[in-house]
Chain A
Amino acid sequence: MGWGGHWGGGWGGGHGGAAAAGLPFAGIPPELRDAVEKIEEHEPEIPLRPVDFSQRTPEADKHFTLRGFLRPHRMSIVGALILVGIDTATLHVGPLLTQLGIDKGIIHKNFGVLLTVCLLYFGSIVVNSITGYFRLSFTGKLGQRLMHKLRISTFSQIQRLSLDFFTKEKAGRIMTRMTSDIEALQQLFSDGIVNLAVQGITLVFVIGVLVSMHAGLAAVVLFAIVPVMAAMTMWFRSASDTAFLRVRDRIADVLSDLSETLSGIRVLTMHNRQRHNAIRHRNIAGEHMDANLTAARISGAYGAGAESIGILGQALILMIGGGMVARGSLSVGQLTAFILYLTAVFAPITQLVALHSTYQQGKAAVTKLADLFAMQPSVPERADAIELPPIAGEIELRDVTFGYSPETVVLHEVDLRIAPGETFALVGPTGAGKSTIAKLVTRFYDPLAGQVLVDGHDLRNVTFDSLRRQLGVVPQEPFLFAGSIRDNIAFARPDATDEEVAAAVAAVGITEVVDRLPQGLDTPCHERGVTLSSGERQLLALARAFLAQPRVLILDEATSALDLATESMVERALDVVLQGRTAILIAHRLNTAMRADRIGVIEAGRLVEVGSHDELVALGGRYATMHELWVEHGGSVRAPATASV
């Protein structure tokens, strides 16, 4: 078994420390690890705290709106706005003070006035430094806290939805609710609302000062210079949004071509495709460069244009303001202040235009999140659902008809009773509905008609938690989570003691394998466990099920993908795990099915035969035919040691 072979032997040493964070590719470059570790030393231990989780969406979350989301924090937001106001005013008072210094101090040769003005200037800088700190810290943390809260309630809502949601939606789409949508909202809050306030106040303040100095010249700034700048910025936003979208698509092309090439590198080498593919990649990389160049042209034009408009604005102010000074309606200091304030007007304009797209994205995110929160699970938990008491393990399907959609029925009127402690196997062709029965017993779906009962309780009347804690499922493709082997085994019971975990490991017979690992149970499972063989992963999944101690265990083709040696290991483990439990074995291989007390044959959604192996062979029906074929194709040359008939 290739279990220790690949651990930690990463090429170029990209791994190592990142594994500590539970991530094989955490992205912290090696040269920064020490610094990061030093910071983390000061991090308080963040415990795993139990959460209050209900299968039903809390009323407060059901109607998600931006306003409703922000309402509980309105006092904080008002506080933030006050800080923003002071901060902005003190930041932009400089040119005004310069003007006063020139007009009242320098021109009148009054050093006392100049000194006072300068002291005010210094004062404003001190105040600004202090309010700046509080403003950034307060609004920043408020934004993070809001997003943190939203992240957890969104994740909780996703957890409430039924399996069909996860199969209908692409994994990536679901993930965007938790990633880009929440980020868009964070943007909307920090760049949007806060920035809107900052820039709005700046604009009002500066324009106020300009108008108070000279309304006519202020009008020139407002109506001749600002619109040009605004129009240019708007053009830039829309042009660069398109251009950068293209850049993102093109870089995705480049990376997916590279990743595809690396995955298929052996086929590529085999067919001497190096030249062909190098040219192909060049074309893809070239398009990426072209997209980037377009973006560079747009931002180059905007950058150059914006600077020049600033200078042209100065020219215009000199031209018109000069005349005003000549006529005596404007002072030299005021003319200077106009020139100095010009830049202070431009920044808010570019920012406010940028806000528009932030707002659009934020709005779209709000809509998507609102849809998510409004969504009801298709398999809901009843409000009056009861706790399922500890069960003996009797399972009954009563006249169950089911289809993933009402039009395409997968199971027709299935009647089946499995006694407590019985091992029952389901066999039949792919697509006949075997796995569907497993999904009904675990209540991933509700039947269209009929009832599924456990110990006489209709599944629809009991809580999910109490039901599923007493059921265990081992799927064909065991899913391992990032984290240690221990975390994976103790998945259902994270509070399990070391002894209990060790017992589970021993029960499935992998103590030796685990001991051979460099870090034993603490060895991280990499990337969905690709460094473990499928047999080892399956044994881990079994240990996980064992530790959970379910009353009913469902093995959904759990051994179908294993080679013989591993399968016999898994089967030995099963002997231990199944003891005293009700078990449903969904099997492709007859030798697995033969271990069961009774076997059911499913065909085209109907349960066509039920009985013990011998009974069914004697019956001479479907099962007998399958058995015959199996003997023909393998049974006859099977080594006697592994025959289990």
Chain B
Amino acid sequence: MTATVNFPRRPDEVLVDPDQAMVPEDRPTAYEPVSVVARYGPPRATVKPNPDLNWARRLAPLVFARKKHLVLGLIASVFTLVIQIAIPRTAGLAIDAISRNASGSLAPYAFMLAGLAAARATASYVYRYQLQRSSLGIETDMRNMIYRHLTRLSFSFFDRVQSGQLISRANSDIRAVQMFLGFAPTVAISILTFFAAFGFMLSIHVRLALVAGMTMPFVYLTGRTMRTKMFPISWMVQARTASLATIVEENVTGVRVVKSHAAEAQQISLLQRAAERWLWASNLQVDIRARFQPMMQNFPRIALAFVLLYGGWLAIHDQVTVGELVTFNGYVFMLQAPFMMLGFLMVMAQRSSASAKRILEIIDQTPEIQDRPGAFDLVDPQGDVRFEEVSFGYGAGENILTDFNLHISPGETVALVGRTGCGKSTVARLLARFYDVREGRVLMDGNDIRDLTVPSLRAAVGLVLDEPFLFSEPIRDNINYGRPTATQEEVEAAARAAGAEDFILELPAGYDTVIGERGYTLSGGQRQRIAIARTLLANPPVLVLDDATSSVDVQREQEIHGALATLMEGRTTLIIAHRLSTISLAKRVLLMEGGRIIADGTHEELMATVPQYAEVLARAEDEWQAAHNPPKPSDLDDPLDSDDEPDLPPQLRALKHLAAARSNEADTPRRSFEPETFGGSTPGAGGGQ
């Protein structure tokens, strides 16, 4: 292994474009790195925090923040409306002119119409675009607001919540609100249009106007009935389409089970039933559409026929002109628009209100872990860790730790040993303040960690977990995750020190290889070494290794131990361990049972004096046998399907599959069945020769 690497303890440089006017929340702090150029500003507003207000008022600041586009759009739409009203009138006047005087030219009217057309094109474009722009801006603000909020919530929140639900909220609920906000002004305008057109018609002939408007309420009523009938059915169809997709997805991913049980025919009948259920619901949908759509279409036509009949009678008696009849013909269609849209708007408003409430539900979650007023930075941490009479349990559950005491001196390495579920990992989570203790306190360099700013504390504590999570990003970005400002040399040095450089360089794109893409999955040991490099680069003075070598085979473990030794040098280290070989990295061993430390000493001392210790170790060694060889990726292992996202609901998983299928149209055939992660050097075989 290489010599000790020492990286600066703080992000020392900022790669953000200095010309970019940055808002305070975009600036990196001493502990919160930023190395991405903000190409878009932060949300322009946030929701009103008072949860007692109704949803519309709470979202109002977001709408208000886009008032420029909204107002511009509304003004343009009023212009559009005025022009729209003028057009049938102009056409009608032209017809009248020619009826009165067949030899007169209609050119003035034609030019007037052409002028109106040009004006209308401009106004209409401005209003369509600006209204979209305001609602899309609001949508984007909501997305960013929710994202930012989610990243600041505490672990206890994510313990309770399925990420699939959150994604669905962030997608369909935001969309529903956006669509409502985009649609509402259009409806408002169409209502204005109605009044203007109807007023105009009244001014021409009151009774004829009433006849023309007579069927409009039916348009609304029929529309409303159709929608109330249609709405649940369209959701049913959607849900049933999703069940179909789920069956297909399961049969594709679970093909071995299906085939090995000769269950093909049975699965087909399962799909057939699901498809028949879909067919039943779709046919209902077809039926409703067939029943109502022709009716809706024909109500304005009934009005037109009446206008022709009654208007014709009036025209015969010279009470209206033919041109006015033409004008009426044009207006009838304008009258119907608000009646068609209003019902739709009400449905959308309902959905949008439900969606907005779900969004606000997220926003109203407060992070449990926050800086106290007057919290100060942990400056130049030494790594003196102390737990004093700590009691803790998750949620409302029982205490996992009770009156727990522990002291680790700066630079000391301590192994924490105990049965699964005895609270070892909890100690680590409390140290990084992912949760707050119920009683007692945790001290870092003599300060209660609740008095310290959270980022400064977390920057001082590095965790290497048993199942390292890597992002589907280039390996480089995974290594410099905690210090995105690191140079390529620093990244390479960290990878080298973690023993990861060799396999990284063997990958086709080296450090640029995107994990998970095109099937580049890494073995447990490789993932762990990248996680170690990541922690090395972040360079925290306190280190917690949470079962960090559990998923690694024996040869690799030796290598990782080398990497770990490098990592531990000069740091306070807490090793949460199962295995003898890992425990040997520490001089001092603590045995935990029932949420307390029951023994403290060297491995030899504990072996000699504490019978439980040997028992726990024996059990742990057995468990390790389970991971002796890293679990083989299953045959249909799909990078998208890996355990990184066990929470995705089947529909979303299906969506991801579809998305992947689209983006990888020309991908190469996948790996053959036997993965070559370890070549021939598996323990046993390799040891023999």
Contact of A464 among B35, B165, B255, B262 (CB under 8 A): B262
Q: How far is the CB of A335 from chain B (nearest CB, A)?
A: 7
Q: Which of A197-205, A215-223, A352-360, A623-631 contacts B (4 or more CB under 8 A)?
A: A623-631
Inside 8 A of B610's CB, which chain A residues have their CB? none
Are B143 and A254 interface neighbours, CB within 8 A?
yes
Q: Please judge, given known A-B contacts A36-B235, A158-B251, whether A101 and B121 are in contact too, CB under 8 Å.
A: no
Q: How far is the CB of B539 from chain A (nearest CB, A)?
A: 12
**Chain A residue at minimum C-beta to C-beta distance from B461:** A270
Chain A residues closer than 8 Å to B105, beta-carbon distance: 322-323, 326
Q: How far is the CB of A178 from chain B (nearest CB, A)?
A: 5
Give the docked Cα–Cα distance between A431 and B523 (Å): 14
Q: Which residues of B contact A275 (CB under 8 A)?
A: 25-29, 32-34
Q: Is B265 on the interface with A (CB-CB < 8 A)?
A: yes
Measured CA separation A280–B117 after assembly (Å):
44
> Is B621 at the interface (CB under 8 A from chain A)?
yes
Interface-side segment among B398-406, B492-500, B651-659: B651-659
Contact B279 A145 (CB under 8 A): yes
Cβ contact of B261, chosen from A262, A273, A468, cutoff 8 A? A468
Docked-complex contact B150 and A261, CB < 8 angstroms: yes
Q: Is the CB of B672 within 8 A of A404?
A: yes
Q: A283-B36, A303-B128, A442-B260 are known; give 14 further A-B pairs, CB within 8 A.
A: A132-B298, A148-B275, A155-B251, A163-B256, A171-B641, A270-B458, A281-B148, A289-B140, A303-B124, A427-B684, A481-B250, A491-B261, A492-B263, A633-B621
Known: A25-B649, A282-B40, A588-B629. A170 touches B638 (CB 8 A): yes
A48: chain B residues within 8 A (beta carbon): 269-270, 273
The CA of A322 and the CA of B10, in the complex, are separated in Å by 82
Q: Are B243 and A22 in contact (CB under 8 A)?
A: yes
Q: How far is the CB of B665 from chain A (nearest CB, A)?
A: 8
* B contact residues around A516 at 8 Å (CB): none
A111 to B315, CA, bound (A): 10
A–B complex contacts, Cβ < 8 Å, 24 sampled: A27-B239, A35-B231, A121-B309, A136-B286, A148-B276, A152-B271, A175-B249, A255-B171, A259-B648, A268-B151, A282-B39, A285-B40, A311-B87, A311-B114, A319-B107, A321-B106, A430-B682, A432-B674, A442-B259, A465-B262, A471-B260, A527-B648, A564-B623, A634-B628
Q: Write the nearest CB–CB distance from A347 to chain B, whole angstroms.
A: 12
The yes or no answer to B51 lying at the interface (CB within 8 A) is no
Once the chains bind, are B659 and A172 in contact (CB under 8 Å)?
A: yes
Given A114-B312, A339-B326, A481-B254, CB of A261 within 8 Å of CB of B262: no
A498 to B455, CA, bound (A): 56
Tell me the minimal C-beta distance from A106 to chain B in angstroms: 5
Beta-carbon contact of A293 and B354 below 8 Å: no
Q: Which residues of B contact A296 (CB under 8 A)?
A: 128-129, 132-133, 136
Q: How far is the CA of A271 from the CA of B482 in the complex (A)?
A: 5
Q: Report the Cα distance A602→B655, complex, angstroms.
A: 40
> A311's contact among B116, B674, B684, by CB below 8 Å, is which?
B116
- Tell me which of A90-98, A391-399, A575-583 binds B: A90-98
A300, CB-defined interface residue at 8 Å = yes
The reply to whether A279 and B34 form a contact with Cβ atoms under 8 Å apart is: yes
Residues of chain B with a CB closer than 8 A to A107's CB: 322
* A626 with B120, Cβ < 8 A, contacts A50-B269, A171-B253, A262-B150 known: no
Please give me the residue from chain B that is nearest to A473 by CB atom: B260
Collect the chain A residues with CB atoms within 8 Å of residue B239's CB.
Answer: 18, 21, 23, 26-28, 36
A328 interfacial by beta-carbon distance below 8 Å: yes
Q: Given A256, A479, A633, which contacts B253 in the complex, CB threshold below 8 Å? A: A479
Question: Closest B-chain residue to A18, C-beta based?
Answer: B239
Interface centre among A101, A405, A430, A477 (most CB of B within 10 A): A430
Q: Quick one: CB contact mask for A243-279 with B, threshold 8 Å, 1 for yes?
A: 0000000011011101111111111111111111111
One digit per residue, 1 when the CB lies within 8 angstroms of any chain A CB and 0 when it does not, for chain B 649-689 equals 11110101111111010010110111111111011111110
Q: B667 to A170, Cβ gap below 8 A?
A: yes
Task: Give the size range of B's interface with the partner.
Answer: 35 or more
Cα-based distance from A141 to B288 in the complex (angstroms): 12
A507 at the interface (CB under 8 A from B): no
| Complex contacts, B34 vs chain A, CB 8 Å | 275-276, 279
Give bound CA distance, A630 to B113, whole Å.
Answer: 92
State A91–B664 Cα separation when bound (angstroms).
Answer: 47
Q: How far is the CA of A148 from the CA of B241 in the complex (A)?
A: 12
**A114 (CB) vs chain B CBs: closest residue:** B312
B432 CB within 8 Å of chain A: yes
Known contacts A152-B275, A265-B151, A475-B256: A159-B95 contact under CB 8 Å: no
Q: Which of B195-203, B299-307, B380-388 contacts A (4 or more CB under 8 A)?
A: B299-307
Q: A625-B688, A637-B617 are in contact. Are A136 and B294 (CB under 8 A)?
A: yes
List the A residue with the shortest CB-CB distance to B234: A32
Report the bound CA distance from A128 to B293 in whole Å.
Answer: 11
Shortest A155–chain B CB gap in Å is: 5
The answer, yes or no, to whether A639 is at the interface (CB within 8 Å) is yes
Asked if A336 is at the interface of the complex by the 8 Å CB criterion, the answer is yes
B188 to chain A, nearest CB (A): 18
Q: In the complex, what residue of chain A is closest to B637 when comparing beta carbons?
A: A477
Interface size class of A (residues with CB under 8 A): 35 or more
**B638 and A171 form a contact (CB under 8 A):** yes
Any A CB within 8 A of the CB of B393: no
Complex CA distance for A428 and B670, rounded to whole angstroms: 24
A-contacting 9-mer, from B153-161, B205-213, B370-378, B588-596: B153-161
| Central interface residue in A49, A286, A405, by most chain B CB within 10 Å | A286
In the complex, A362→B421 CA distance in Å? 56
Give the complex CA separation of A325 and B420 in angstroms: 96
Contacts of A38 in B (CB 8 A): 232
Query: Which residues of A have CB within 8 Å of B658?
Result: 172, 175-176, 179-180
User: Which residues of chain B are near A604, meaning CB under 8 Å?
Assistant: 680
Q: Which of A98, A432, A528 contacts B308 (CB 8 A)?
A: A98
A603 at the interface (CB under 8 A from B): yes
Report the minimum CB–CB distance from B78 to chain A (whole Å): 15
Instruction: Give Cα A548 to B634, complex, Å.
Output: 23
A269 to B152, CA, bound (A): 8
Most chain B CB atoms below 10 A, which of A50, A106, A272, A436? A272
Q: Are B313 and A111 in contact (CB under 8 A)?
A: yes
Question: Among the interface residues A267, A492, A629, which one has the most CB atoms of the partner chain B within 10 A?
Answer: A267
Given contact pairs A26-B242, A444-B256, A637-B617, A285 touches B682 in the complex (Cβ within 8 A): no
A406, CB-defined interface residue at 8 Å: no
CB <8 Å contact, A39 and B162 = no
Say whether B252 contacts A166, CB under 8 Å.
yes
B664 lies within 8 A of A114 (CB):
no
Closest to B434 in A: A269
Residue B245, interface by CB 8 Å: yes
The reply to whether A118 and B358 form a contact with Cβ atoms under 8 Å apart is no
Given contacts A268-B151, A332-B98, contact A259 B167 (CB under 8 A): yes
Residues of chain A contacted by B250 (CB below 8 angstroms): 479, 481-482
Residues of B contacting A10 with CB < 8 Å?
Answer: 162, 165
In the assembled complex, B561 has its CB within 8 A of some CB on chain A? no
- A642, B622: Cβ atoms closer than 8 Å: yes
Q: Which residues of A contact B346 (CB under 8 A)?
A: none
- Complex formed: what's the CA distance from A125 to B104 in Å? 37
Within 8 A of A (CB), among B482-535: 482, 484
Contact B685 A340 (CB under 8 A): no
Question: Are B128 and A318 in contact, with the CB atoms below 8 A?
Answer: no
Of A51, A91, A166, A263, which is within 8 A of B297 by CB?
Answer: A91
The 10 closest A-B CB pairs, nearest first, are A132-B294, A322-B106, A172-B657, A286-B40, A172-B661, A140-B286, A25-B649, A429-B682, A626-B684, A136-B290
Given the complex of chains A and B, what is the CA–CA distance between A481 and B251 in angstroms? 9
Find A262's partner among B26, B166, B472, B538 (CB 8 Å cutoff): B166
Segment at the B interface, from A73-81, A418-426, A554-562? A554-562
Q: A36-B232, A152-B275, A405-B672 are in contact. Are A305 and B121 (CB under 8 A)?
A: yes
Task: Decide: B614 and A637 in contact? CB cutoff 8 A.
Answer: yes
B441 → chain A, closest Cβ, in Å? Answer: 21
Tell me the bound Cα distance from A491 to B251 in angstroms.
12
